């Protein structure tokens, strides 16, 4: 059985969402980020610096997976692997789509996430006294160009590739979700907004978010 290491309130949410979409049974091992520890670690939980977890991922980050003896790290790569293994319409159908899947996944990781995570931290996630408006403003400014690229793409395509919902939509949507606190960005990208709402309306996403919302902050 597929094992996913990580809590819902982490990038493991990406892998849990896709596993739900694919109908893959999985075992979740709750591993919390070390920086989030407050007092005693709950029974049965590990953290990212726990010796037991470092044997799985010596980088000390979540998520990781174990699947039939294969250990993988990096949430976006894990999703490409799961889609490729389990096939169906969520996976690339040919080598052309393999290329598109890799391109858009790497685009999300390099063009968007370094800035979108700062939007999330400094406009929403961190306590008000730890937020830096200058960092948030710079991140929003940096996101204007990639947001325009994505909006133009989605004006012509309903989904990221192939005219259908795929694992690439999961990958890109989860990176774009971090931008939600920057309202002005979304006002300038109506096609991205419509697409993300469609992604978030999916039952598999709703199930993942229910698990996420049930976890302590």
pLDDT tens, 162-201? 999 999 999 999 999 999 999 999 999 999 999 999 999 9
Residue that the structure tokens 């907004």 belong to: 193
3-state secondary structure 55-113: HHCCCCCCCEEEECCEEEECHHHHHHHHHHHHCCCCCCCCHHHHHHHHHHHHHHHHHHH
On whether both 23 and 102 belong to a single domain, the answer is no
Same domain, 191 and 210: no
Number of domains in the chain: 2
Claim to verify: residue 193 and residue 114 sit in the same structural domain: yes
pLDDT at position 38 is 83
Comparison of pLDDT for 39 and 166, the residue scoring more: 166
The separation between CA 5 and the C-alpha centre of its own chain, rounded to angstroms, equals 14
Q: Are residues 141 and 157 in the same domain?
A: yes
Give me the CATH number covering residue 169.
Answer: 1.20.1050.10
Which residue range forms the structural domain that includes residue 145?
95-202
With a pLDDT cut of 90, the percent of the chain lying above it is 94
Pair 112, 195 in one domain: yes
pLDDT reading at 87 higher than 90 = no
Do 71 and 121 lie in one domain? The reply is no
pLDDT band, very low/low/confident/very high, at 43 (cuts 50, 70, 90): confident
Q: Are 198 and 210 contained in the same domain?
A: no
User: Can you give the pTM of this predicted structure?
Assistant: 0.96
Tens of pLDDT, residues 99-130? 999 999 999 999 999 999 999 999 999 999 99
- Asked if 116 and 175 sit in the same domain, the reply is yes
Euclidean distance between the first and the last CA atom of the chain, given in angstroms as a whole number: 28
Give dist(CA 160, CA 100) in Å, integer.
9
Please compute the mean of the pLDDT values over residues 30-58 and round it to a whole number: 91
Averaged pLDDT score across all residues of the chain: 96
Do 149 and 108 share a structural domain?
yes
Report the side by side order of strands in the sheet with 64-67.
26-29, 2-5, 64-67, 70-73
Say whether both 142 and 164 belong to one domain: yes
* Residues 75, 120 within the same domain: no
72 and 159, same structural domain? no
The first and second tokens of residue 72, run together, are 């993988």
Query: Is residue 148 within 8 Å of residue 189, measured between CB atoms?
Result: yes
Residue-level pLDDT at 12: 98
CATH of the domain at 72: 3.40.30.10
The pLDDT of residue 44: 79
Which band of pLDDT confidence, cut at 50, 70 and 90, is reported for residue 85?
very high
């Amino acid at each position: 059985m597929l094992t996913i290491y990580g809590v819902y309130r982490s990038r493991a949410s990406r892998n849990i969402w896709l596993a739900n979409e694919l109908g893959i049974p999985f075992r979740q091992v709750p591993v919390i980020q070390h920086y989030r520890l407050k007092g005693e670690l709950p029974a049965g939980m590990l953290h990212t610096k726990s010796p037991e977890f470092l044997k799985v991922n010596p980088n000390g980050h979540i998520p990781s997976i174990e699947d039939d003896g294969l250990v993988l790290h990096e949430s976006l790569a894990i999703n490409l692997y799961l889609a490729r293994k389990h096939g169906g319409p969520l996976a690339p159908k040919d080598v052309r789509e393999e290329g598109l899947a890799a391109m858009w996944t790497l685009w999300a990781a390099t063009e968007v996430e370094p800035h979108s995570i700062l939007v999330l931290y400094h406009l929403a996630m961190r306590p008000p006294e730890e937020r830096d408006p200058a960092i948030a403003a710079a991140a929003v400014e940096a996101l204007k160009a990639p947001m325009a690229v994505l909006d133009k793409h989605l004006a012509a395509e309903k989904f990221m590739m192939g005219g259908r919902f795929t694992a690439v939509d999961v990958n890109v949507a989860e990176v774009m979700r971090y931008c939600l606190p920057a309202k002005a960005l979304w006002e300038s990208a109506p096609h991205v907004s419509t697409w993300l709402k469609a992604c978030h309306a999916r039952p598999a996403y709703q199930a993942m978010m229910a698990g996420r919302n049930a976890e302590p902050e």
